[in-house]
Structure 1
Amino acid sequence: MKFSHSIQFNAVPDWSSHYIAYSNLKKLIYQLEKSINQSSTLAHNDAEASPLINADDPDAVFRRALDQELEKICSFYQLKELEIYGEVGDLLKDEEEYEVEAEGVDFDQLEGTGDKNGRPRRGSLFSKIGFGGRQRRTSTMSASTIEEEDADSDEEVDERTGLNMGGVSKKRRKSSDANTARAEDDLRSSREMPLRRRRASQVYDDYSDQAFSTLVASGMTLKKRTIGLYVSLCELKSFIQLNKTGFSKVLKKYDKTLNRNLKNVYLKEKVTTAYPFKEVTMQHIDENIYNMEKAYADVITKGDVPRARRELRLHLREHVVWERNTVWREMIGIERKAQAANMGIRRTLLGGDHDPKLQGDESDEAASKELITPIGKYRLPRWLFSPTFYTLLGIIIVFIILLVAPIMKKTEQQNCLAMLVFVSLLWATEVIPLFVTALLVPFLAIILRVAREDQKPHSRLAPKDATKYIFAAMWTPVIMLLLGGFTIAAALSKFHIAKMMATFVLSKAGTRPRTVLITNMFVAMILSMWISNVASPVLCFSIIQPLLRNLPSDSKFSKALILGIALASNIGGAASPIASPQNIIALQNMRPQPSWGVWFFVALPVCIISILLIWVLLLVTFQPGKGTTIVPIRPMKDKFTGVQYFISVITLVTIILWCVSHQLENVFGDMGVVAIIPMVAFFGTGILTKEDFNNFLWTIIILAAGGLSLGKAVSSSGLLHTIAATVTEKVEGMSLYGVLVVFAALILVIATFISHTVAALIFLPLVHQVGAGMSEPHPNLLVFGSALMCSAAMGLPTSGFPNMTAIMMEDSQTGQRYLKVKHFISRGIPSSLLTFLVVISLGYGLLRIAGL
């Protein structure tokens, strides 16, 4: 949670205006940053203007703002401390008086009970009348009085145990109900009891006068006052801690944004010397908190301070949860309103309807539609009239037709064809989530009995055998390789290693627009190699935020930079085997699998040349250098820690082992086994936790596993062989190069409109089979070239996650998106064609040299 949200969430609502204005100070930092950059630009263009612009030192301006906040906090704290401490003193005096009054009341003696030596036992008043222990069976108070006391008891118990998830509260409520029932039974039978057993009750009844009621009321009042003051003191302590953290964070933000060193000086000179932030102030608060615990123990818990502390903390927790729920609801409401407004804008831009869920009281009506028929009016769910429903219905109809239409000679191939088309259409249209479709693959493959034995005569497998056969294909060393890649990516991101490397490189780029653009593109490509092309653009866009803030809203360089990062991230998705899921699918369809060294030998030159060509295209079309002044990106000043060194060493060792995996097959067997090294090293040492493991992109893993099971089913049924033979006849007479060009062009077109991963799932098994059936078999070459083209499809905003992220980037000042669909069509399609030319020329040559 951002600290600007955290301070709202944790602040005392009534004191909210007296906390540090963290958000306003952040805005001031960005204003100072912009004014400094503008002044430096004007000074460069007009030397005479420089002294006037730099008249105000940013440190002095920011110090004044901080001083005002500090004065506001100190004044409020001193007044609030004086008020609360005064109430604490009054309470302690009243508690002493109460102890004196209660000292003469010996309840144990009244009941005829004592300790084992016959001495009367002292105890809390509330433990004798139902607030701290059992109800006594000897009570002869009126029924209405008992019910009243029991009601108060339940109220107090619930107040104390309202956060115990119901268990303890229910037990105590049952106990209280039982006590009430026992007391009523005692009332009914009191006249029949022997005289000697009623003496204690008679004596106890003598104390049920006005003085006794006053004593009980005083104890109740003291208890509530003690709880209230304990909560107030804890809030006062939290007020100090939150504000101290706020000063530290906002000064760190200032130093980082404006490249200053104000934090340590200001904290030492101003903050730590201010009265609220002195150590003695915190000690006084802790002493008064202990006094409240002691007072509560004396009145309520028979002097048991640890028990009193636990009960007071439960009261505090209940109070804080109630306040936080109130504040959280308000914050969520604001966020939802903003999100609803943004959704409305985005849907308007895309030509869609507003979400019925955002229409308030009209949601029920919007969720249904009235249908008028000759026999009456009927209200039907609106989803029955949506295009998605009819698309899904059409796909199901096609599936049923293919199941019964006599297209293939063998039943298992006929069923497999229906399943393949059905799954491909679901993936292409995304009428249901992609990973859900992947889960359908093993289900359909087993139900339709498409799997056959690997050995002749290739008889169909029974459902039980087919289950083992299909599910064995869903977990392979390739899935472990994908998990190993996720583990490395999580460690590099969590400990800011990737960000530190990126900012270090970008800080060397200078201020020339063309240099900054190409540097950012190569950084995006390199990050995509190691932390995936899903996380890479998100990280890059966060790094360039200071640069974007200081550019005009209509700057062409902003558009070129954002689009360049997105396109480079797409290209970087082909640079390493773990950069994207399509590469994992390609490895699964290559026999034997190429080593990482071979992959780098082919993919890196293709990616580098493609990015250079795209860079030239962006320079020519956007001309970002005209009237653009670049704010240099500063490197992170944090020093490398031991944990970061450990992560870096393990990552490098793992990558080296992946590169030489073929030479070490006798040791590790497969690259998937090597992937276990970073998983054990990072999760075993606690660097990554189970929460990090749960945050892996499991939908991608399920999608990849479903694709592997689909490939196994299509291959086992014989359908893939039949289709490949047909395609081979069509391309008969064409050279290997011609077949590569045909498949690369086909995949480029298809992958532009559907997911890159889905395109790989559908086409790469077919490409491998066609390549194996050629007179000059080079299946690995065709699969590798096709995988490169999957990443090169980037002509539309929906062509890959980097494009989706880029088109949603908005100017923080105007709220307008930097890019529109036309920018992707006019630059993305030419970029895809340029990469296509590189793959079928340079890529083909490198593939032949590598011996694939």
Structure 2
Amino acid sequence: MKFNHSLQFNAVPEWTGKYIAYSNLKKLIYSLEKSSKGGNDGNEQVADEESALLTDTSRKPEEIFKLALDDELAKINEFYIEQEAQVFQEFDELILEEDEFQTSVLDDTDMDDIYERRRSSADDKMRVSRPKLKDPFAATTSESRHQFDQEVFGQHDENAENYPVDIAKSTGSLISADSGSEDFDDTEEAVNRRKTTRSRSQGDNRYSARNRSGSRTLPWGFLENQFLNEKRINLKKKATQIYVSLCELRSYQQLNKTGFTKALKKFDKTIGTKLRTWYLENCVDKTYIFIPTTEELLDEKVDKAIALYARVATSNDNKQARAELRLHLREHVVWERNTVWRDMIGLERKAHGLTTIAGGDKKIQLQGDQPTILRNGKTHWTIMGIDIPRWLHGTRAVKLYIILPIFFALLRLETLEDTAQANCLAVLVLASYLWATEAIPLFITSLLVPFLVVLLRITKYQSGDRMMAPDVANFIFGQMWNNVIMLLLGGFTLAAALSKFHIAKIMATAILSKAGTNPNAVLGMMMFVSWFLSMWISNVASPVLMFSILQPLLRTLPTGSSFAKSLILGIALSANIGGMASPIASPQNLIAIEVMDPAPTWAEWFSISIPVCFFSLVVTWAYLIVMFRPGNTVIQPIRVVKESFVFKQYFIIVVSVCTIILWCLNQQLQDILGGTGVIALIPIVLFFGTGLLTSEDFNNFLWTIVALAMGGIALGKAVSSSGLLVTIARVIESKIDGFSTFGVLIIFGALVLVCATFVSHTVAALVILPLVNSIGMSLPDGHPRILVMASALLCSAAMGLPTSGFPNVTAICMTDEVGRPYVTVIDFIKSGVPSSILCYGIIMSVGYWVMTTINY
């Protein structure tokens, strides 16, 4: 959790404005960074005081930031002194109140006198009365009870007549108070029993009332008096509240100390200074709130509060008192946190509602037979007063209302003579529409495919007969878990290890620091590093990592800077291009490897992808420079992450490199290792077995992508086994009769590029690649692997819209420190569409030439 969120989560709600203004200090740091590097422009709006500081060229950033810290330190110290004095005063008053309470309780001698008087009155066989208010058990009138309370307990209560003084009941004495008198058993047995009971009660239920000087013994067995019990409960509540207040003071102290440390650390890291150690030692540690004696005094008060609670609540058991107070504190904090976060969520929802209204959306409440009503911000349909669930009338429901009838119609009409092929066509159309429209989650569609394949008995035996359901299930599930899935998990494992131990980030900053201050060179280096990381940690993780590295540089650029746009778009587009680079860079590559027969080796893949990626990067970089013209921007070099490699990081690098080499040599080692899937087990076993990666890392794998790939494999096997693929290929072959492999590639390449732009790259590969492979096999000069390879590369090259791929989605969500987006949809269309067309041309020329040269 970031410290800013932790501060909000742990702060006392009533003191919210009295904590360190960490967010403001962060904004000041970024402003100082920008002003020190000449990044401020006329569009910036800063507070007058802060603006005056920033424009004061005679002051260094350290001096400006120190002034801001001094103001925060003074504010925090003043508030702490005020709160400390108030809490300590309440604590002192509570101690005095507890002293009075302890003094008001009878000691052992007082109780012995009472028993002797009762014994004497019992010898005369008379009703017990209390002349001159000396016998509490004979008090029969409100006046006498009131007088007794004043004399014995030192208390005055106007409502004393509302409760009886029945102290003897708690000792086990056989005395009953009725109408102001009692019967008393004076037999020897009863007397002995009373003595035994009294001594046991005094021994078990009394403890030292005060550990301080002048302490008395508190006979807890005689505290049945309602007034004293209420007094004790009140003291217990006050002691609990004092303990909570003291703990809140300690939390206030610790949170602010952490805030100063974090703010100074961020300032030194951002500006490149060494202010942290000096300021902490000479300013923070010498302020009253943070000096050791203050902390010791606060700890001492906490211990005293626990001891006081123990005296009034737990019979001087400090351990039990501490446990009970911690429980009270935990309940108090949980309640406060729930309240705070509920308020914060409410504000977020209100802000979201305002944003929706500001965006022009209209929420209409209709009246009549089919009204829409607003409930918790959502629209519900009702018919005759009955609520209709949202999933029955939402956008997704409308898509399903269109898709499902088509599916059932295809099943009913039996468009093909072969039942298995007709059923397979219906499943193919259903899966394609569901993937394209995302009417249900993509991975759910993938899991639906094997269910329908088994239910409709789509697959066939080699003899041509339809398989029975058990055989279909064994066949289809056996195909879904194969070398491709294991290769995908191996890629996830390498990516997790390289990211978790900052290896990728250290290497990336080391390379980027060599780019200097030339904007064009920085843009080119950023794109190269993004492409290279996408090759090994996937084009999903690469843009996230690159944008985190880019943040410090973006903060130094003026608002609306064209160079910032070119950097964001450059990273996204290069990450898409990086999706072509290696078999583990993106899921569509693994789907292509599964489709091709024989599957290409890593060396063959690199021999095609590297030249294509190189030229694609160069032309995309040149186009971004021409479009945004960032050459006049003044920037600062990117700082290297100063972190030395340790043994664990070297171990991860060695294992990763060895795994990649084995993947490249898979064809030569196939007789020994069996395939790429077995090789993928090496990093999985070594990294998870040694504890470098944990079960949490394993759970964080993109299992939805795994399910999507498995569903695509299942659909491909079903289409192939049923014979539908051959049938479709023959139909298309008749339409493209006389076309060469290159002509077919031009046509299907454009189809793939358009489809992958509007739907997911992986979905486009799932639907089109098996068909392309079948068509390639039917051509006279058939090179199906060329068609499949080029189509797979084009899936990654489709980057014309913000939703075309994960790198684009990440880029469009990038905002500055005040929430303004760096790029818009128009920026993406202007840069992404031309880049896609350029990459298409390179794949059709350079890629095709390389593939024919190596006789692919």
Q: Give the TM-score, by structure 2 length.
A: 0.80
Write the mapping of 1:367-516 to structure 2, written as runs, cut at 5 A: 367-368=379-380, 388-453=396-461, 455=462, 457-516=463-522
- 8 A contact 1:797–1:804 mirrored in 2: yes
1:804 CA displacement: 2.3
For 2:626 and 2:335, locate their aligned partners in 1 and report how far apart those are by CA, in whole Å.
59
Correspondence 1:808 to 2:821: no
Q: How does 1:166-185 map to 2 (within 5 A)?
A: none
Residue 758 in structure 1 maps to residue 752 in structure 2:
no
Contact 2:39–2:557, Cα closer than 8 Å, also in 1: no
Which piece of structure 1 moves more, 794-803 or 289-298?
Answer: 289-298
Q: How far is 1:437 from its partner? A: 1.1
Tell me the CA shift for residue 288 of structure 1: 3.0
Q: Is the 1:39–1:54 Cα contact (8 Å) retained in structure 2?
A: no
Unpaired runs of 5+ residues, structure 1, are 43-50, 113-185
Q: What residue is the counterpart of 1:745 in the other structure?
A: 750
Provide the rounded CA distance (Å) in 1 between the counterparts of 2:751 and 2:109.
Answer: 95
Corresponding residue for 1:12?
12
1:618-657 counterparts in 2 under 5 A? 618-625=624-631, 627-657=632-662
Q: What is aligned with 1:794?
A: 799
Counterpart AA for 1:484: G
Alpha-carbon separation, structure 2, partners of 1:718 and 1:570: 34
Specify the alignment match of 2:79 in structure 1. 76
Letter in 1 for 2:451: F
Task: Please tell me the residue identity of whatever aligns with 1:838.
Answer: I
Q: CA deviation at 1:92?
A: 4.8
Residues 218 and 361 of structure 1, relative CA distance in 2, 3 Å threshold: farther
SS in structure 2 opposite 1:362? Answer: strand
1:784 aligns with 789
Question: Match for residue 155 of structure 2?
Answer: none
Q: Which residue of the partner structure matches residue 122 of structure 1?
A: none
Pair 1:207–1:725, CA change in 2 (3 A) = closer
- In structure 2, what is the equivalent of residue 171 of structure 1? none
> What are the residue-to-residue correspondences of 1:181-260 with 2, within 5 Å?
212-260=225-273
Q: Per-residue deviation at 1:836? A: 1.1
Query: Paired residue for 1:670?
Result: 675
Q: 1:107 to 1:851 in 2, by over 3 A?
A: farther
Partner of 2:31: 31
Residue 474 of structure 1 aligns to which amino acid in structure 2? M
Give the Cα separation in 2 of the matches to 1:217 and 1:541: 63
Structure 2 counterpart of 1:834, which letter? L
Counterparts in 2 of 1:827 and 1:680: CA distance versus 1, 3 Å: same
What is the rounded CA distance, in whole Å, between the counterparts of 2:724 and 2:97 in structure 1? Answer: 90
Match of 2:133 in 1: none
- Alpha-carbon distance in 1 for matches of 2:528, 2:305: 62
* Cα 1:379–1:483 shift into 2, 3 Å: closer
Instruction: Measure the CA separation in 1 of the matches of 2:420 and 2:762.
Output: 26
Are the aligned partners of 1:441 and 1:710 in contact in 2 as well (CA < 8 Å)? yes
- Following superposition, the deviation at residue 222 of structure 1 comes to 2.6
CA contact (8 A) 2:798 2:836 kept: yes
Distance 2:539 2:39 in 1: 38
**Cα distance change, pair 100–779 in 1 and its aligned pair in 2 (3 A):** farther
Q: Distance in 1 between matches of 2:318 and 2:110?
A: 22
What letter is aligned with 1:433? P
Counterpart amino acid of 1:250? Answer: A
- Return closer, same or farther for 1:209/1:567 CA change in 2, 3 Å cut-off: closer
Q: Is it true that 1:837 corresponds to 2:841 in the alignment?
A: yes
Specify whether residues 243 and 207 from structure 1 end up closer, same or farther in structure 2 by C-alpha distance, changes over 3 A only.
closer
Contact 1:39 1:53 in 2 (8 A): no
Does the C-alpha gap of structure 1 residues 200 and 639 become closer, same or farther in structure 2, counting only changes over 3 Å? farther
Deviation (angstroms), 1:341? 4.2
Report the alpha carbon displacement of residue 611 of structure 1 after superposing the two structures with TM. 1.0
How far apart in 1 are the matches of 2:689 and 2:109?
A: 61
Q: Is the 8 A contact 2:411 2:426 kept in 1?
A: yes
In the other structure, the counterpart of 1:324 is 337
SS of match in other structure, 1:450: coil
Q: Which residue is 1:296 aligned to?
A: 309
Find the counterpart in structure 1 of residue 723 from structure 2: 718
CA-to-aligned-CA distance 1:473-519 (integer Å, 9 cap, x gap): 22222112212222222233333332232223222222222112111
SS in 2 for 1:266: helix
CA contact (8 A) 1:481 1:671 kept: yes
Residue 256 (structure 1) shift: 1.6
Aligned mates of 1:197, 1:483 — CA distance in 2:
83
Displacement of 1:472 in angstroms is 1.6
Partner of 1:313: 326
Q: 64-73 or 312-321, which moves further after superposition?
A: 64-73
CA distance in 1: counterparts of 2:10 and 2:303, whole angstroms: 23
Q: Give yes or no for contact 2:253–2:290 (8 Å, CA) kept in 1.
A: yes
In 2, are the aligned partners of 1:576 and 1:603 still within 8 Å (CA)? yes
Aligned to 2:831: 827
Give yes or no for the alignment of 1:270 onto 2:283: yes
Structure 1 residue 3 and structure 2 residue 6: aligned?
A: no
Amino acid at match of 1:229: I
The one-letter code of the counterpart of 1:514 is N
For residue 729 of structure 1, report the CA deviation from its aligned partner. Answer: 4.0
Partner of 2:46: none
- Cα displacement (A) at 1:363: 3.3
Change (3 A) 1:396 1:562: same
Q: Relative to 1, partners in 2 of residues 1:91 and 1:380: Cα closer, same or farther, differing over 3 Å?
A: closer
- How many angstroms does 1:727 deviate by? 3.0
Question: Contact 2:580–2:613 (CA<8 Å) still a contact in 1?
Answer: yes
Q: Tell me, what secondary structure is at the counterpart of 1:577? A: coil
SS in structure 2 at match of 1:389: helix
Partner Cα separation in structure 1 for residue 821 and residue 815 of structure 2: 4
Task: Report the Cα distance in structure 2 between the residues aligned to 1:217 and 1:267, rounded to whole angstroms.
Answer: 49
Instruction: Tell me: CA distance 1:424–1:207, structure 2 relative to 1, closer, same or farther (3 Å).
Output: closer
User: For each residue in 1:28-86, what CA deviation from the matched residue of structure 2 results, as whole angstroms up to 9, or x when unmatched?
Assistant: 112211221228999xxxxxxxx996311110111111112122222322333343344
The counterpart of 1:518, out of the listed 519, 524, 528, is 524
Q: Deviations over 1:444-482 (max 9, x none)?
A: 1111110122x3x13212212211211222222211221
Counterpart of 2:281, as a letter, is K
Q: Note closer, same or farther for the CA distance 1:410–1:300 as it changes in structure 2 (3 Å cut).
A: same
Residue in structure 1 matched with residue 375 of structure 2 by the alignment: 363
Whether the 8 Å CA contact 2:373–2:380 is kept in 1: the answer is no
| Separation in structure 2 between the aligned mates of residue 672 and residue 828 of structure 1, nearest angstrom | 35
**Superposed displacement of residue 679, structure 1:** 2.5
Provide the secondary structure at the position in 1 that maps to 2:583: coil
Q: Would you say the 8 A contact 1:367–1:381 is kept in 2?
A: no
Contact 2:773 2:788 in 1 (8 A): yes
Give the match for residue 58 of structure 2. 55
Unaligned runs of 5+ in 2: 43-53, 116-175, 202-218, 366-371
Q: CA deviation at 1:247?
A: 0.8
Moved more, 397-406 or 4-13: 397-406
My pick for the range that moved more, 193-202 or 309-318, is 193-202
Whichever of the two has the greater Rg, that structure is 2
Change over 3 Å in CA distance of 1:303–1:610 after alignment to 2: same
Residue number among 323, 340, 348 corresponding to 1:335 in the alignment: 348
**Structure 2 SS opposite 1:663:** coil
Which residue type is aligned with residue 68 of structure 1?
D
Structure 2 counterpart of 1:707: 712
Q: Is the 8 A contact 1:41 1:629 kept in 2?
A: no
Q: 1:642 to 1:299 in 2, by over 3 A?
A: farther
The alpha-carbon distance between structure 1 residues 660 and 822, as it changes in their structure 2 partners (threshold 3 A), is same
**Which residue number corresponds to residue 697 of structure 1?**
702
Separation (CA, whole Å) in 1 of partners of 2:840 and 2:220: 98
Q: Could you tell me the percent identity over the aligned residues? A: 51
Q: Distance in 1 between matches of 2:695 and 2:177?
A: 59
- Partner Cα distance (2:734, 2:476) in 1: 30
